[in-house]
Structure 1
Amino acid sequence: MAFQNGTPPATDMSAVPPPAGPTQDQAKTTLWMGELEPWMDENFIKGVFLSSAGETVNVKVIRDKNSGNAGYCFVEFATPDAATKALGLNGTPVPNSSRQFKLNWASGGGLVDRRDDRGPEYSIFVGDLGPEVNEYVLVSLFQARFPSCKSAKIMTDAMSGQSRGYGFVRFSDENDQQRALVEMQGVYCGNRPMRISTATPKNRGNHGFGHGHQGGPMMGGGMPQQQMWGGVQGFPYGGNAGAGGGFNPATQMNQFTDPNNTTVFVGGLSGYVTEDELRSFFQGFGEITYVKIPPGKGCGFVQFVHRHAAEMAINQMQGYPIGNSRVRLSWGRSQNNSGVGTPYRPAPPPPHYMGMPGPAHGGPGPNPYGGPHHFGGPAPGPQGPSGPPGPAVPPQFEETAGHY
């Protein structure tokens, strides 16, 4: 896909029509329904279609292992004509709610096609999404170009429901996924060009919505991710890299090569961020074992069940605003997880932060698209001078750039 000057003009993706409906050769009876409220369950949706379309339907609400309702479902009708009729409800108010119907044809056949063991699935990460982009817009954009595109999920703030600016798109055909990585890179969705990278599908060990990179992604000028946070690029927090025992390159490199290391170090935390709030920002990338914020240190640790989820979090959350500052991420190490930190449980919603300024030293530069700063990549610019060492972090937690 080629564009003049490499960048297409901004378009209003809300006007993009859904993909063509079913043909006589391949009749469809299943619709995708998105933008669901967390409380909307199968019984509610069945009642909605019974009252709005006079149809008795089967419903499968997709469940996210970490956050519960993933925000979309599949609705199966008795006949293709009934499904076509119900599709006409798109854009009209959903009874007994503040939402509108967001409907589209579901790729594949009936609900049975969406069993967890159906077969391989291939996901991509989509970043730099504007607040005007919803799941219907995102899935319509990809389904119009890639027939095997199954669904899209945009991660949202649990309290406000507003987009966090990134999401995931799932395919059943690896060729479509690979094409999308190339053809959709920089394509406008809403008012911003998308940033695309690979993500691990749920049937490769992560039961969430395809969070995690397949291998180490290339970042910042083509440098592999493991090199970007290895060696001198590691961030020392609260002191220099040699504080409390010195810098050990062999130990640091082991954190990247050890497949059992799933701990992410989160630096630059403001003092009032809680462990539950920190968890809520990272739980979209995969199942979390524990979260720990040592008192008074301005940092925290997030340990995932799967390493690829930790890799994805480091890549995509670098420089992301949490509290009143932008966090800096690197690999951490936990020598003893027993009884440490807060075990996984559904997190309460975090506060929503708007208009946050960048940090004084080493923070992300201005956003050329006029919205939330891009995720991913290390904070550009020189790092500020190291402050005096703070109170010691418990010895079972160590950042790989140095020891506390």
Structure 2
Amino acid sequence: MAYPYDQNQQGHFSQDVNGGLHQESAAQGMPPQQQPIQPGLPENGSPASFAQQGVVDGSGSSVTGDAKTTLWMGELEPWIDENFIRSVWFGMGETVNVKMIRDKFSGNAGYCFIDFNSPAAAAKALSLNGSMIPNTSRPFKLNWASGGGLADRRDDRGPEFSIFVGDLGPEVNEYVLVSLFQARFPSCKSAKIMTDPISGMSRGYGFVRFANEQDQQRALNEMQGVYCGNRPMRISTATPKNKSGVPGVPVNMPMAPQNSIGAAPGMYGMGAPPPMGYYGAPQPMNQFTDPNNTTVFVGGLSGYVTEDELRSFFQGFGEITYVKIPPGKGCGFVQFVQRHAAEMAINQMQGYPIGNSRVRLSWGRSQNNSGPAGTPYRPAPPPPQYNAMGMSPAQHFAQYQQIQ
């Protein structure tokens, strides 16, 4: 594929293969708002006022200066690189610096930072949000690189405390989500909404990170059922970055919105929608088979789903040993390091839409109680106890008992 730019125009920015950023969060220490603000807008209603100063440090390169000149650009197609981004903005009369942030598994750049010459140029560029990117099939996804999290900045020098936020409507973006929480919790650092790697559409859930554990605990209680956009949010805990090594790993993965579309005919009978959104009742925990089995069988996969894409749907449950999709079989296998991660995946991804079909999950065949050849044997620890699958008694799954 030929692109309208010169590969020799590569600038001084080096690629960060780990996708890591190291930046002092500007959101930390922000004074608490006395009055609730409209979700998605700062107190004075101006997106520009939400931008704050900060430094983005990459691997051997940096974008430094006032954050009012820096935009976040997300949901990029896999082939897009720094040169293409620069060529797009050069065609609009802007000379920019670009820093790509690459996924550590696939190497693809999910988003980038763009630094403009002036705040006016950045504000003008932001007005293109939603319009089509030249020579691509996707629209611009732009926002101010502010508050530490709209661009998902990392600060590895301090602890982080995360929560999972589910039942988000398609109208909710990261700016709306982080603004809602920062209005009430001064230590809120970031918000990340998970998107489908193919369509770029929101998966209906995300994560919010805090620098202060008290704010995290307050948010778990106070934000349960609070409306964000057109729907009430469902809140539960997520594993802290410093403990898991992966920021935002959820303790309880999302349940789909209650007004989800129905399941495919035959999956739940006569095409009726599954109970409680995408998911049915919890699956049995394989009590009479190999207790060390950590392999999940994923059936009903569409033909164009890749192993990297399949991994992206399951990596939030825990560390994955391998992902395999046999050619032409319409199924795949995901093996976790720990047993309880596989159990959660089976329970909570049953019937979830991946690609253009809903998947069927069950236990796969273990390979010598472990992973592929050469993987060390790891006895599975006892599964954790979940209080009504991590939700308050008022939530939809309260009628189920704890997983034993």
Q: Which band: TM-score by shorter chain?
A: 0.5 to 0.7
Letter in 1 for 2:127: G
Asked if 1:210 corresponds to 2:248, the answer is yes
**RMSD between aligned residues:** 5.2
After TM superposition, give the deviation of residue 71 of structure 1 in Å. 3.7
Instruction: Check conservation: 1:12, 1:191, Cα contact below 8 A.
Output: no
Cα deviation for residue 166 of structure 1 reads 1.9
2:284 matched to 1:235? yes
Would the aligned equivalents of 2:163 and 2:235 in 1 still touch at CA under 8 Å? yes
Aligned partners of 2:242 and 2:350: how far apart in 1? 26
Question: Which residue in the other structure is 1:106 paired with?
Answer: 146
Alpha-carbon distance change, 139 to 298 in structure 1, aligned in 2, over 3 angstroms: same
Unaligned runs of 5+ in 2: 1-37, 54-64, 256-281, 376-394
Q: CA deviation at 1:331?
A: 10
> Whole-Å Cα distance in 2 between the matches of residues 122 and 17 of structure 1?
28
- Greater relative contact order structure (CA < 8 Å, 6+ sep): 1
Task: Provide the residue aligned with 1:29 in structure 2.
Answer: 67
Matching residue of 2:125: 89
For residues 56-205 of structure 1, what are the structure 2 equivalents within 5 Å?
56-57=96-97, 59-69=98-108, 71-75=110-114, 82-83=118-119, 86-92=122-128, 93=131, 96=134, 98-100=138-140, 102-107=142-147, 114=153, 117-205=156-244
Q: How does 1:282-361 map to 2 (within 5 A)?
A: 282-283=314-315, 285=317, 287-291=319-323, 301-305=333-337, 310=342, 313-314=345-346, 316-322=348-354, 324-325=357-358, 327-328=360-361, 335-339=369-373
What amino acid sits opposite 1:265 in the alignment? V
Q: How many residues align?
A: 297
Q: What is the rounded CA distance, in whole Å, between the counterparts of 2:216 and 2:101 in structure 1? A: 21
Q: TM-score, normalised by structure 1?
A: 0.54
CA contact under 8 A between 2:73 and 2:143: conserved in structure 1? yes
Q: Which whole-Å CA distance do the structure 2 matches of 1:379 and 1:339 have between them?
A: 42
Q: Which runs of 5 or more structure 1 residues have no equivalent in the other structure? A: 1-10, 220-232, 242-246, 256-260, 342-374, 381-399
193-202 or 309-318: bigger deviation:
309-318
Question: Are 2:101 and 2:109, in contact at CA under 8 Å, matched by a contact in 1?
Answer: yes
Cα offsets for 1:348-392 (capped at 9, x unmatched): xxxxxxxxxxxxxxxxxxxxxxxxxxx996998xxxxxxxxxxxx
Taking structure 1 as reference, are residues 95 and 158 closer, same or farther at Cα in structure 2, changes over 3 Å only? closer
Query: Is the 8 Å Cα contact of residues 212 and 311 (structure 1) preserved in structure 2?
Result: no
Query: What is the alpha-carbon distance in structure 2 between the residues aligned to residue 331 and residue 378 of structure 1?
Result: 29
How far residue 106 of structure 1 moved from its aligned partner, in angstroms, is 1.5
Pairwise CA distance, 1:129: 2.0
Shift of 1:118: 3.1
Within 1, Cα distance between the matches of 2:235 and 2:317? 16
Q: Check conservation: 2:81, 2:109, Cα contact below 8 A.
A: no
Identity across matched positions, percent: 54
Instruction: Output the amino acid matched with 2:76.
Output: E
Rounded to whole Å, the distance in 2 between the matches of 1:22 and 1:236 is: 48
Provide the secondary structure at the position in 2 that maps to 1:169. Answer: strand
Equivalent position SS for 1:89: helix
Q: Report the TM-score when normalising by structure 2.
A: 0.54
Question: Structure 1 CA distance, aligned partners of 2:114 and 2:328?
Answer: 50
